Structures are given as structure tokens and as C-alpha cells.
Structure 1
């Protein structure tokens, strides 16, 4: 790569998809990132911005709260950033990631090295269909940790039946297992996240959270519970 390529803003992957409308992978200043409709979804895991973001913080929570996790589920792949960090922390664990968008999976395998994560199985399926019947997708085990990172653009996906969603998650988690959500909300508007947190507390009986302040219009709220 020449010095000019390093400084050039370059789209190296560009595909339309019915799920995220348009997925691009952009290379700039030695960085690589995935965008959906121009909104940054993830950075390549070796980039400093990735290590400063919620992906690394989420991995740290899993490491601290579920240090002996042997089976870990990810709902949403993004650029595979969090998966890389969790895999490094848990090299002997079995990782399953459910991603509905085959274009995202393709981009991750080509440009974000998810194909090099030996302990990872990617399931190309809708997360809600997967939760309704994991056996249909070849999953018969429970999980010691689950990370729900489900987005459309900037925000967490709309869930048709939130109570059922939490019940299905609870059924998948082993005793003393961890459930972790990445919930994004607009700055100075925490009412929606408070409602979200209250539902989780009612379902799981306990709750903790960490806020990662964003640089622009949104903040990330990492919300987690341990199933007793």
C-alpha cells in the first residue's frame, strides 16, 4: 500500500441489501469500517477507535461477569468487532453469532477476519426466528453469556413482543449466565432506555449498566443481568 492509498478515502465493498439497505466497507487513514446507509456500524477490531468503543467494553463485561463461559451467543454480527475481542478472552469457548444479513456476513469474512475466528459459528437467520426455535438452526445447548447487539441504523431494533423476546432469551441462558444488551439512545433523552431497563429488571430480577458517551448524537448503554 502506498502513502497515497493510506490517505485516500476508498470504498472497498459496496452492496445493497433488503435488511440494511446498503452496506459499505470504507478504508481511510489505515482504518477500516463498516457503514449502513452512511452510519458507522463497526470498526476493524485492531483499530484504536474499535478498542475505545462499546465493543471492547462489552467484551470486558463478559470477561468480568462470565469468566468461565464455555458457550457464548451473539445476536447481531456488525463488523465482528466484539466477537474478536470475546474470542481472544475466551479461546476455548464455543461462539455462536446470529446475523440476518448475508451481505454483512460476506463483508465480515472478506474484510474483518471473522473467517479466522476458529471457535465461531455464524448462523444466517433472523434473531427472533432463532430465539423462537434454536433447534431449527442446529443449536441444542444453553449459553453462559448472550450479547444482544441488534440494530437498524443508529438504534436498537423494534421488537414486536418484548416480553416474549426476554422470555426466549431467559430460556437460552444457563444458570448464573449473563445477558448483555447494547442499547443506543439520543443524548439527553434517557426515558426510552429507562423503560427498556425496567423490562429487563422485571424479567431477570437484577440489573447493572455502563454508559459509553458517544462523540455525536447518541450514547451507548450497556445493560446486563445475571440469571440466578
Structure 2
């Protein structure tokens, strides 16, 4: 069965992304890449889509990406990229694809649910509408869209791709951090609680996410999970 390469947070390092995809595709049969958020979508910092157009995708390869918490959500909203499950935003004739929250795609026979979003731990030091946006959080509408898609989908969900992770995933490296220094008053963050609701419905075999900039893995019941650090590649 064909494999998929999952890629960790990029924060706009599209040169590294191009090199990673070329290396993986040159050294294996992988043709599909999925990036787990904090992609680095900031079109107002340059010409519209200038950064994305600079990404080099090898012939016959495809890249799918979701939003994290560090994206320009105001631009995404203006371009109709939010709250549109199933309606991919494409570049380069479909070689690069943004996947909206709550979208299910069948890739190589695997049913994959995509749901981006997370809270920024450094929100207190950012400026709203400039480098911080309320839309970063997973909302009730996002969860309802995802649950509706799951209910209408004829088969079981095999994989979930998110930026954040469910509340029940034990993250020992992360719990050592002093979250109060960032202004956090509660743990887990709201988006983790939201994703827990998804986990309790779908119980996928695999859950891939990023956000925490650490490489971690674990198991919750029948779900194997992997957290990818920045620019980490995991092929499965």
C-alpha cells in the first residue's frame, strides 16, 4: 500500500519544505505529503500567495496542509477558506491543497479527517488582527461540521490529522512547562477538549498532529498517536 509522509510545523519555511519533499520523494515511492498546521500562511506580508507559489513540488506529488494557530486567519476568511468543509483551496494545478476543518478525504484507501486550529500560548504578547486571530481556536461550529461529515461518511475514519490533540493524549514533555508564565489560567486548552469529542466518536487507528515542537508518540485505546516536531517527517 502507498505511504504518506506527514510533516511537522513549518512556520513559513517553504524552502525547507521543498527540500524535504524532494528528498523524501527521491528516496522512496512517497507521492503524498500532509502538513500538520502552522504552515505559515501570511499573504499580507508579501504578495498574495507569493510564498506558496515558491514551493517546489516534484512532478506527480501532492501536498495537503491544514491551519495551525500561526496563520493569517483574516486573509483566510477573506479568501473563503474558513468553515468550508470539503472545499479545498488549491495552488499549482492541485499540487498544493489547503484542507478546511472538518474535511474527510480518501487517500490510498484511507479515510482521513482533517481539522486544524489551536490556541497560541503566546497570545498575550501578540496583536489582534495583526499576528493573532480569534479564529485560531477550534470552535463549536468546527466540531459540528466535523461530526456532520463523520455521520454522513459511509465508512470508518482511519486517520485524523490535526494541529492540536485530544485532551486524553499524555504529553509528558509538554506538562513540564510552566504555562502560567505565558498567561495561561487553565489546562488543557479549549481546542484539546474540542478534539476529545472527535476522538470519542471516531477512534481512528492513527492520529497525527504538531503544535508542540516536540517529537512524541503514544497510544490511547486503539489509537496510535504521533506528535511531530518542527520540520519532522514521519512516513507511514
Structure with the largest fraction of strand = 1
TM class by smaller structure:
0.3 to 0.5
Structure with the largest fraction of helix = 1
Structure with the bigger RCO (C-alpha within 8 Å, sep 6+) is 2
> TM-score by structure 1 length?
0.38
